[in-house]
């Protein structure tokens, strides 16, 4: 494998964090991360590299590796661990362990008919967080949630995009949006719908304003939107349903003090896919045109 081919695999892994496959998009995503936090950028790079190398060493499907499918969950693990526990020797070791674990989990899910999405990242990171906190290995960072009386729509909108990768920064969100535009205008439109719906629902139901401004009710919707993005209006309907479900799931998890990560996105998307498949089977069963 030459250097250029490896770099393409690496940046595809970064782009796949938002479930897209584009080298330029991956470069822009990484620039956005480094703009907000170079330490989290190192975490993303470490996770992507370890996850990809693990897949190569274990001789997983070459096409999957080439498309960055073993880089993005591990990159997310790197981002999450640095975000929650800071940058230190113990957290880097945790990133390496989590990246390897997420790669193995990804392979296990790939053997089934279920789409993996970010489930390997969620499972691996939850396991790591439980172990780290249970044995007091690293102290959990205090995440600042500033008070706010007024909704800041621009911040809420772009932070909703940035929070897909734990980035609370308007400029980073703009860079991520540009990365999506490079890949697909349709996917970008659906991502915009995702973060905007999070703001609208949160405001209507009086969710905490400071959390709205941080983008916490938008990022799962961004991923829901990208997954179902299509020119067909039916996809917009199921996208909106999925987004709304994900918003209420994360609201409930926040109230229960559960670290949600992107689980609301995965759960709501899986639910919609199951319901959609059941409806299709019923239509076939009764020969409904």
Q: Hey, what are 230's tokens?
A: 């299509």
Asked whether the predicted pLDDT for residue 179 surpasses 60, the reply is yes
Tally of domains in the chain: 2
Q: How many CB atoms lie within 10 A of CB 139?
A: 10
What three-state secondary structure class fits 112? Answer: coil
Q: How many CB atoms lie within 10 A of CB 230?
A: 14
Q: Hey, what are 253's tokens?
A: 């998890």
Q: In this structure, is residue 145 part of a structural domain?
A: no
With 0-12 / 13-18 / 19 or more C-beta atoms within 10 angstroms meaning exposed / middle / buried, residue 121 is: buried
Question: Percent of the chain beyond pLDDT 70?
Answer: 97
Range of the domain at 26: 3-134
**Domain co-membership, 97 together with 197:** no
Helices (H), 67-184: 72-85, 89-110, 119-134, 153-162, 170-183
Q: How far is CA 169 from the centre of its chain?
A: 16
Q: Can you tell me which residue has the tokens 């480094």?
A: 34
How high does pLDDT run on average in the chain? 95
Give 18's DSSP letter: G
Asked whether the predicted pLDDT for residue 285 surpasses 60, the reply is no
pLDDT at 264: 98
Q: In this structure, is residue 66 part of a structural domain?
A: yes
Asked whether the predicted pLDDT for residue 147 surpasses 80, the reply is yes
pLDDT at 286: 54
State how far the Cα of 227 lies from the Cα of 268, in Å rounded to an integer.
11
Give 151's DSSP letter: -
Q: In this structure, is residue 49 part of a structural domain?
A: yes
Q: In this structure, is residue 140 part of a structural domain?
A: no
Q: In this structure, is residue 147 part of a structural domain?
A: no
Q: Hey, what are 58's tokens?
A: 């274990």
For range 159-165, the mean pLDDT: 98
Do residues 81 and 225 lie in contact, with contact meaning Cβ atoms separated by under 8 Å?
A: no
pLDDT at 76: 98
**Domain co-membership, 100 together with 213:** no
What separation in angstroms does the CA of 203 have from each of 2, 197, 251, 282?
50, 10, 12, 37
CATH number for the domain that contains residue 66: 1.10.3430.10
Q: What is the pLDDT of residues 27-39, one digit of tens each?
A: 999 999 999 999 9
**CA max distance for the chain:** 61
pLDDT at 288: 47
With 0-12 / 13-18 / 19 or more C-beta atoms within 10 angstroms meaning exposed / middle / buried, residue 104 is: middle
State how far the Cα of 208 lies from the Cα of 228, in Å rounded to an integer.
28
Q: What is the pLDDT of residues 180-202, one digit of tens each?
A: 999 999 999 999 999 999 999 99
**Domain co-membership, 115 together with 221:** no
Do residues 50 and 198 lie in contact, with contact meaning Cβ atoms separated by under 8 Å?
A: no
State how far the Cα of 105 lies from the Cα of 121, in Å rounded to an integer.
9
Domain final position from 134, 149, 179: 134
* Higher pLDDT among residues 280 and 52, named by residue: 52
pLDDT at 232: 87
State how far the Cα of 171 lies from the Cα of 236, in Å rounded to an integer.
27
Q: What is the pLDDT of residues 72-115, one digit of tens each?
A: 999 999 999 999 999 999 999 999 999 999 999 999 999 998 99
């Amino acid at each position: 494998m030459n250097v250029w081919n490896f770099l393409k695999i690496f940046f595809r892994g970064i782009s796949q964090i938002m479930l897209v496959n584009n080298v330029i998009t991956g470069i822009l995503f990484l620039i956005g991360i480094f703009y907000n936090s170079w330490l989290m950028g190192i975490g993303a790079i470490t996770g992507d590299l370890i996850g990809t190398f693990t897949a190569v060493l274990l001789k997983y499907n070459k096409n999957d590796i080439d498309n960055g499918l073993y880089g993005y969950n591990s990159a997310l693990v790197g981002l999450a661990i640095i975000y929650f526990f800071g940058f230190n020797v113990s957290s880097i070791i945790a990133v390496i362990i989590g990246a390897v674990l997420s790669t193995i989990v990804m392979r296990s899910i790939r053997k089934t008919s279920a789409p993996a999405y970010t489930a390997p990242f969620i499972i691996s990171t939850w396991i790591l967080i439980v172990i780290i906190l249970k044995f007091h290995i690293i102290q959990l960072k205090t995440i600042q949630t500033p008070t706010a009386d007024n909704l800041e729509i621009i911040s809420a909108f772009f932070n909703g995009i940035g929070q897909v990768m734990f980035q609370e920064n308007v400029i980073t969100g703009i860079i991520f949006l540009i990365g999506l535009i490079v890949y697909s205008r349709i996917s970008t439109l659906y991502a915009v719908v995702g973060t905007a719906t999070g703001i609208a629902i949160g405001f209507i139901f009086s969710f905490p304003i400071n959390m709205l401004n941080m983008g916490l009710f938008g990022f799962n919707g961004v991923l829901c939107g990208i997954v179902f993005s299509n020119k067909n209006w039916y996809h917009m309907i199921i996208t909106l349903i999925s987004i709304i479900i994900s918003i209420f799931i994360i609201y409930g998890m926040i109230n229960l003090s559960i670290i949600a990560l992107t689980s609301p996105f995965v759960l709501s998307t899986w639910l919609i896919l199951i319901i959609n498949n059941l409806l299709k089977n019923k239509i076939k069963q009764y020969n409904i045109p």
